[in-house]
Chains A and B, each alone.
Chain A
């Protein structure tokens, strides 16, 4: 099971407590995780990536194993720790302003 940590606004929207869990058949990548997340929680469509182009929204960042992978190609395989669920895939609302 893959663990996904959502920002607080999206936790409330999807009605999940901190972490969502999804299953991915095949390679574990940004795209396959987000596809699985949006299938399980359709209310998240359009809130993380564009509904048509599937481009990441400008103020969203993705982290895996402590690294910002927002600019890594969406079909790149992620670390085994993400696939095994020992580390979460983090979706973060980028900070802006103070």
Chain B
């Protein structure tokens, strides 16, 4: 019988929640790496028992952990992230040049086919890869050549927070950086193109349609249709039909088009989920109502999903990596909040229930569908 494993990264450790395919009863293990910030914990699609975690604190820096038994036991692997060559400078908050400095790993994306290969998105923004299970890491410096000197940190830092691997083309990778924008490689990471045409950032950039500098919060794709991309930008929900060559706004009737995560239904490539947040200055849901919005038309037409979610006095946020879907026949949707709740829906978002109430601030949620 199928089961699911939900991997939750929090401000004070990692938690692993497991359930059978009914998704009614949940077992919780953790905290793993207690007291450390877990920006991301993610499993290998090629070997679900292989899980990687990004463990860090401001005091003690970065550690990468690896499990080969589905998260029961862990061991530290390589944590040496060194930029290739002389990294130079990017823009600081005030526009002055600032040297490139490694701070932490925001996102870990295991290869779709090779358990020992994993990609790491880091702050200050760069993409690294390991081909030996995390023991050693090498940067793709070509990404920083895509006008990296003009990139500037967002409020959370200058982080590469999203990595999408194209299942139909192993040489194509999409990444997103705050606040630089979205980028694509078609040659396995050697060279990169900014793919920000169509984005408009009139409140954040002197040139609202600049080639780089946009504060992209998250990207999503459906694996069966990898040329169609969805984006939650700082403001605006966007869609591209052509692998990022051109973006069109699909915010439609959302109560706010500010937000962080975006996700696509496992079986319906045009069904998309976002969590509207009031504004960049007020990181909580509009009107104190925690509502996931679903579009079944690839954007523009959105419906509020509220059944089982708090509809009064709710002032949590949902961070960019904190929403994921499972691949069971009745698709499950999961998201975690800064208040420490993880909510789940086993029916594509029609009804919701918390599967854990009181974790530390949730940074990330990933889901593994197990046979």
A residues near B (Cβ < 8 Å) are 7-10, 12-13, 43, 45-48, 51-52, 57, 59-60, 93-94, 96
A57-B59, A94-B59 given as contacts; is B76 within 8 A of A43 (CB)? Answer: yes
Indicate which residue in A51, A60, A96 contacts B80 across the interface (CB closer than 8 Å): A51
Chain B neighbourhood of A52, CB < 8 A: 80, 82
A–B Cβ pairs within 8 angstroms, 30 of them: A7-B59, A7-B60, A8-B35, A9-B35, A9-B36, A9-B60, A10-B60, A12-B33, A13-B60, A13-B63, A13-B76, A43-B63, A43-B76, A45-B79, A45-B80, A46-B63, A46-B79, A46-B80, A47-B60, A47-B61, A48-B60, A51-B79, A51-B82, A52-B82, A57-B59, A57-B61, A60-B60, A93-B59, A93-B60, A94-B59
Residues of A within 8 A of B58 (CB): 59, 96
Give the tally of cross-chain contacts (CB within 8 A).
44
Q: A9-B35, A12-B34, A51-B80 are in contact. Are A46 and B59 (CB under 8 A)?
A: no
Of B59, B76, B79, B80, the contact of A9 (CB 8 Å cutoff):
B59
Which A residues touch B59, using CB under 8 A? 7, 9, 57, 59-60, 93-94
Q: A7-B60, A46-B62, A94-B59 are in contact. List 11 more A-B contacts (CB 8 A).
A: A9-B35, A9-B59, A12-B34, A13-B76, A45-B79, A45-B80, A47-B63, A51-B79, A57-B59, A57-B61, A93-B59
Within the complex, the shortest CB–CB distance from A80 to chain B, in Å, comes to: 30
Residues of B within 8 A of A13 (CB): 60, 63, 76
Query: B residues 78-128 with Cβ under 8 Å of A?
Result: 79-80, 82
Contact digits for B61-80, partner A, Cβ 8 Å, 1 yes 0 no: 11100000000000010011
Main secondary structure of the interface of B (DSSP, over half): loop
Knowing A8-B35, A12-B34 are in contact, say whether A57-B60 is a contact too (CB < 8 A).
yes
B40-64, CB under 8 A of A: which get 1 and which 0?
0000000000000000011111110
User: From A94, which residue of chain B is reached at the shortest CB distance?
Assistant: B59
A5 to B61, CA, bound (A): 18
For the complex formed, measure the closest distance between the CB of A21 and the CB atoms of chain B, giving whole angstroms.
Answer: 20
Question: Which chain B residues numbered 8 to 48 have a C-beta less than 8 Å away from chain A?
Answer: 33-36
Listed residue (A10, A45, A46) with the most chain B CB atoms within 10 angstroms of its CB: A46
Closest 10 CB pairs of A and B: A43-B76, A47-B60, A59-B59, A93-B59, A51-B80, A46-B79, A46-B61, A47-B61, A9-B35, A9-B60
Give chain A nearest CB distance to B264 CB in angstroms. Answer: 36
Given the known interface contacts A45-B80, A46-B80, the answer about A9 and B61 at a Cβ–Cβ threshold of 8 Å is no
B57 (CB) vs chain A CBs: closest residue: A9
Question: Inside 8 A of A59's CB, which chain B residues have their CB?
Answer: 58-59
Tell me which of B36, B61, B62, B80 has the highest count of chain A C-beta atoms within 10 A of its own C-beta: B61
**Measured CA separation A45–B79 after assembly (Å):** 8
The complex places the Cα of A46 from the Cα of B79 at a distance, in Å, of: 7
Question: CA separation between A27 and B184, bound complex, in Å?
Answer: 52
A48 to chain B, nearest CB (A): 7
A contact residues around B79 at 8 Å (CB): 45-46, 51
Closest to B80 in A: A51
Given the complex of chains A and B, what is the CA–CA distance between A38 and B76 in angstroms? Answer: 13
Residue of B nearest to A47 (CB): B60
Bound: A96/B63 CA distance, A: 21
Contacting A12 at CB < 8 Å: which of B35, B62, B80?
B35
Q: How far is the CA of A46 from the CA of B61 in the complex (A)?
A: 7
